[in-house]
Amino acid sequence: MTHKINHLAIVVPNLDQALHFWRDALGLPLARTEENPEEHVNIAFMEVGTSHIELLEPTEPESGIGKYLDKRGPGMHHVCIEVDDIAAMMNRLLEHGIELINDSPKTRKNDGIQYCFIHPRSTSGVLVELYELPS
């Protein structure tokens, strides 16, 4: 079964401005920052216990996150939940009539995490990501 929230992702226009709240005022530790040129996004990883809040700053207005920010403004982008067996979970969701964005799990090159996204139409409006961590 599912275990925990791995991360919440929030789209922000400016990382430094966002850190003023999340790090300076609220006091969450900044675990690290990362540039992702492929996705045209800069990311700040804030620690909340063993989970993270990821602040996503688009670096290119025409990118996926850039368009999201333009259309919806800053705010919650997705929630990511860890599961033991992502393929089995995807089958289970399909059996329940849930609409998936990916047909099969994708694998990240850098850390081997398998992931997929569930369409907000099936989740009361929240984009949901699933993670299966490498064993």
Please identify, using beta-carbon distances, which residue of 28 and 54 lies nearer to Zn ion: 54
**Contact flag: residue 128 with Zn ion (CB under 5 A):** no
Q: What's the count of helices (H) and strands (E) in the chain, helices before strands?
A: 3, 8
Stretch that binds Zn ion, among 8-16, 38-46, 58-66, 96-104 (CB under 5 A): 8-16
Residue located via tokens 């990501």: 129
**Contact flag: residue 129 with Zn ion (CB under 5 A):** yes
We find the least distance from the C-beta atom of residue 10 to Zn ion, in angstroms, to be 11
**Contact flag: residue 82 with Zn ion (CB under 5 A):** no
Please identify, using beta-carbon distances, which residue of 9 and 11 lies nearer to Zn ion: 9
By CB under 5 A, how many residues form the interface with Zn ion?
A: 3
Pairing of strands 5-11, 51-58: parallel
Residue located via tokens 């569930």: 118
Tell me which residue of 131, 94, 92 sits closest to 115, measured CA to CA: 131
Binding Zn ion (rule: CB under 5 A), the pick from 10, 80, 83, 89 is 80
Tell me which residue of 72, 69, 71 sits closest to 57, measured CA to CA: 69
Beta-bridge partners for 30? 46
Q: For the window 51-70, what string marks contact with Zn ion as x by the rule CB under 5 A?
A: --------------------
Tell me which residue of 23, 40, 24 sits closest to 32, measured CA to CA: 23
Which residues are near Zn ion by CB under 5 A? 9, 80, 129
